[in-house]
Structure 1
């Protein structure tokens, strides 16, 4: 276990534009609580996104399979290397902490700006978020244990008065204004893009695992075909991601157009199913128990361990996860075409298309909450007494229905988003999924 309690952790304050806010960081060390407060204040005072970047020791045990690897010549790796090199020349704290070349960097984007990335990233979704490995800024990535109490030290010399709280340290230079912020915008853009993409791919992996298990029990050919069509999109999306993150151009030969068509078709099916589910719930008598058999007609398999309804839920999750990756690709491509203003271009593209996904996820979440609140009734029949087996089936069905809303968040408050980047000696990096702090 890494003991951060005795460590001095360098922290950069990154701005994505030439913003002017009061200098708040100062030159002395600060606690984790103070750093969190600083992020919040800067987010309120600045119009452009403000983020913080911390440099922690690289854990000996780190599951790199969860992240997206980028080589040393990729834009993100180069921007990070430039930042570290400049900071090391101007700060003994940064030089000492990054001397080995191996570090775990954590970029934290305040909630005010993280909300622009979509509800599916910034709000914890119960077990899915836990499986994704949510970690706070003072958690050992190898063990998952909280190691609070690190000392944070602002890195680099201050820029012109008030540039992002002394965040001329963004580039580790004493230059003023926009010149000191030139490294930050593309660094934050690429880190957010890769982190969001990795998060969406993590959600895709989880959905695939659930769908495969459910379909093995269900033997439903139409749903199996839908699953195959969506799963077949991964290759084109992975290749397009790799090309764009290396500043290449996505061509027709990748097959991304056909992948997008398959994803949009699946999202259309999810929208239609959601409309049917809402209609079925609206027709139920309010406040009265509902017979499980009647409920299963509109929600097939809801009283079973698997079932068509649960498979359809996972297919919707898979389509959303894939679409989020495609949206990030489109945003990065658009932002790179306007490098002078990358973050605004990036968030503009994200916001336009993410709203549909957010609405779909919110709608499904509300359906699950409404279903979980229902009171299942015993089957209607002439017999006044039911067998123990029938009673057991009713109890199991009731338990499964009530658990439908476990881990579901409806319109949760957005929180700070953390993106961790493991950097090796050769300058290559692995970017882990963006998660709520």
Structure 2
């Protein structure tokens, strides 16, 4: 969704701890391209994670169903409200931009910082409708919402955040460099909710695909796997809501049972992946493969549905659910030590993401290898094949080639945008974190 109105966009440079930087001139307007360059430079120069926060007019049409809603009493909504209120007292630009109470806040995490909390946790979702395009929520990868905007840096605005369970009290950066706003709790909560929303969107898409596949297959065992994984959502949703309100997780939530079911599904995905890799390794290198032989190791690979594709979607679902759990565990870990919440959060998140990133990358490699295979003519004594046999072979070849479409084996870490819609009553909706560029 884009905003065609020419507008002045206040932008803050937020740090997660006291840092000193130079070269940032507060008050000078800049373009979106200049802002992107500034983020990259600050990420390199600063010793602590630095992000930028923009405030845009709230679009007239917005699908809030894609995000995670938080009421005005939630820590994220309170930190954001306090931050904006104090900033508006010292900046006319901020006061004008936020006067309506309804705004779209866009936090951009530079690629270097995004890599600290897991390189694979936010990946672009390739759009089949446009070559090289990616799906977006509110602000697309080309920055069109910012194309007609003038960015004005705001500095020296100290947010009056409270320590609570989210982190240290926010305040002005130490003297000696350009004044940045230290807002560790605000950054932590925005990143945590945005990443969780991103993982939940992946879960919803996997559920849609699996439901269609299982309706065709009618395989009870796969249906049971699907039901057990889908049943984990309730416990994860409750745990997410509780942690985002700085509560404590308890056994009654059922999160332990959900984690066990997810880990079991990931174990099955690992074993299936090993079989797929072994099957591909056993194929004669550089030689055409008969479709029948390929289907024995990858059942239904030549069809729209098939067991192989159901196994793929079950693996995607398990990964998406596990990513949400990992975010919860990282937030809980960060809230346990309020001295440096963002550092604790990123450390815990990155450590647990490694297995998931490796699993996804290995599945992607299998799909790329499959898509590159050449199918052989069917074995038989007849020198001529029927039209149906030829059509089936051509159709199968096309479907197998498309397995590699949009697959990113080792995607480059990009800047990550987290968009937060703030309502007049102070409540917020946090949308899935998305890569700013492909």
TM over 0.5: yes
Is 1:135 the counterpart of 2:157? The answer is no
Residue 109 of structure 1 is matched in structure 2 by 109
Distance in 2, Cα, partners of 1:314 & 1:132: 22
Query: Per-residue deviation at 1:124?
Result: 1.6
Distance in 2, Cα, partners of 1:258 & 1:333: 18
Give matches, 1:324-403, under 5 Å: 324-403=323-402
Query: Per-residue deviation at 1:125?
Result: 3.8
Contact 1:13 1:53 in 2 (8 A): yes
Residue 95 of structure 2 is matched in structure 1 by 95
Query: Per-residue deviation at 1:25?
Result: 3.5
Is 1:211 the counterpart of 2:210? The answer is yes
Residues 262-287 of structure 1 show CA distances to partners (whole Å, capped at 9, x for unaligned) of 00000000000111100000000111
Residue 162 of structure 1 is matched in structure 2 by none
**Which range moves more in the overlay, 110-119 or 414-423?**
110-119
Residue 199 of structure 1 is matched in structure 2 by 198
- Gap runs ≥5 in structure 2: 159-168
Give matches, 1:275-314, under 5 Å: 275-314=274-313
Secondary structure of the 1:409 match is coil
Secondary structure of the 2:353 match is helix
- Gap runs ≥5 in structure 1: 140-144, 160-169
Residue 322 of structure 2 is matched in structure 1 by 323
Contact 1:87 1:173 in 2 (8 A): no
Residue 165 of structure 1 is matched in structure 2 by none
Residue 7 of structure 2 is matched in structure 1 by 7
Distance in 1, Cα, partners of 2:341 & 2:208: 35
Distance in 1, Cα, partners of 2:313 & 2:173: 51
Query: Per-residue deviation at 1:137?
Result: 7.2
Query: Per-residue deviation at 1:260?
Result: 0.1
Secondary structure of the 2:380 match is coil
Query: Per-residue deviation at 1:306?
Result: 0.4
Per the normalisation by structure 1, the TM-score is 0.92
Residues 385-433 of structure 1 show CA distances to partners (whole Å, capped at 9, x for unaligned) of 1001110000000000000011100111100000000001111100000
Secondary structure of the 2:113 match is helix
Query: Per-residue deviation at 1:132?
Result: 5.5
Contact 1:79 1:183 in 2 (8 A): no
Are the structure 2 counterparts of residues 414 and 297 from structure 1 closer, same or farther at C-alpha, using a change threshold of 3 Å? same
Q: CA RMSD in A?
A: 2.2
Query: Per-residue deviation at 1:117?
Result: 2.9
Distance in 1, Cα, partners of 2:236 & 2:170: 33
Per the normalisation by structure 2, the TM-score is 0.92
Secondary structure of the 1:285 match is coil
Query: Per-residue deviation at 1:176?
Result: 4.7
Contact 1:86 1:173 in 2 (8 A): no
Contact 1:115 1:122 in 2 (8 A): no
Are the structure 2 counterparts of residues 435 and 380 from structure 1 closer, same or farther at C-alpha, using a change threshold of 3 Å? same
Query: Per-residue deviation at 1:27?
Result: 2.2
Query: Per-residue deviation at 1:23?
Result: 3.5
Secondary structure of the 1:121 match is coil
Residues 300-344 of structure 1 show CA distances to partners (whole Å, capped at 9, x for unaligned) of 000011000000000000000000000000000110111120011
Secondary structure of the 1:82 match is helix
Distance in 1, Cα, partners of 2:2 & 2:282: 56
Distance in 1, Cα, partners of 2:405 & 2:191: 29
Residues 160-185 of structure 1 show CA distances to partners (whole Å, capped at 9, x for unaligned) of xxxxxxxxxx978698589x877510
Query: Per-residue deviation at 1:4?
Result: 4.9
Distance in 1, Cα, partners of 2:12 & 2:428: 18
**Which range moves more in the overlay, 21-30 or 216-225?**
21-30
Secondary structure of the 2:121 match is helix
Give matches, 1:184-195, under 5 Å: 184-195=183-194
Are the structure 2 counterparts of residues 157 and 138 from structure 1 closer, same or farther at C-alpha, using a change threshold of 3 Å? farther
**Which range moves more in the overlay, 89-98 or 124-133?**
124-133
Query: Per-residue deviation at 1:122?
Result: 3.2
Query: Per-residue deviation at 1:155?
Result: 1.5
Distance in 1, Cα, partners of 2:26 & 2:290: 65
Residue 414 of structure 1 is matched in structure 2 by 413
* Greater fraction of residues in helix: 1
Distance in 1, Cα, partners of 2:245 & 2:176: 28
Residues 33-64 of structure 1 show CA distances to partners (whole Å, capped at 9, x for unaligned) of 11000000000001211100000000111000
Are the structure 2 counterparts of residues 132 and 226 from structure 1 closer, same or farther at C-alpha, using a change threshold of 3 Å? farther
Residue 223 of structure 2 is matched in structure 1 by 224
Are the structure 2 counterparts of residues 326 and 174 from structure 1 closer, same or farther at C-alpha, using a change threshold of 3 Å? closer
Query: Per-residue deviation at 1:134?
Result: 7.3
Is 1:61 the counterpart of 2:65? The answer is no
Distance in 2, Cα, partners of 1:174 & 1:339: 18
